[in-house]
Amino acid sequence: MKLNSTAKYVIAVIAVVWVILLAVMVALSAQRPGETVSGGLEKATAAFDDANLSASMVRAGDVYGDDFGAGLIVCPGVTEAEVGQGLGVDASSMGLDGGAVPEGTNYVLLVSQDGSTQADAISQDSVNLCTVPTNAIYPDMFIPLTKTADGGWELPAA
């Protein structure tokens, strides 16, 4: 089967448009910002609720990704300056404008290998991470959680 010159031209235009479209899609996907860490732990506990669990564990790296070096649980009343001085990192990602963590909120502050930070603000009504003293968390660490009588989740007492 032979194509006339008009058909060849139409096929060539379609192929060029297709290649340009693919190049644009690849370029746009490369420029897309990374996922935020907000709500990761709350999404995990929602899955526990859907499975009707009363206790479970979640791997920190599965919630926040494996790219962070360490994480810290920050409880109400702790100031951004205290976190920054204690860890030697910039805690401004917590968005406290120099103030303290408000009552009813706890944070997971993630510190990457280069010292940059990301914060996940979590309502203590849904997940209370300040029920027991904790050390740093790491990507391969499992975080145990138990369901409270009020329907939230918390770190279990040892």
Q: Supply the pLDDT for residue 113.
A: 81
- Residue-level pLDDT at 28: 63
pLDDT of residue 67: 85
What local confidence, expressed as pLDDT, does residue 116 receive? 82
Distance CA 76, CA 106 (A): 6
Give the per-residue pLDDT at 50.
93
**Amino acid 156: pLDDT:** 92
Which pLDDT value is given to residue 27? 66
Q: Alpha-carbon distance 63 to 136, whole Å? A: 15
Q: Residue 127 — left, alpha, or beta (φ > 0 → left; ψ -120 to 50 → alpha)?
A: beta
| Concatenated DSSP letters of the chain | ----HHHHHHHHHHHHHHHHHHHHHHHHHHHSPPPP-TTHHHHHHHHHHHTT-SEEEEEHHHHH-TTEEEEEEE-TT-BHHHHHHHHTS--GGG--TT-BPPTTEEEEEEEETTS-EEEEEEETTTEE--SS----B-TT-EEEEEE-TTS-EEPPP-
Structure confidence at residue 40 (pLDDT):
84
Positions of the chain with pLDDT lower than 50, given as ranges: 30-36
Q: What is the pLDDT of residue 8?
A: 81
Read off the pTM.
0.70
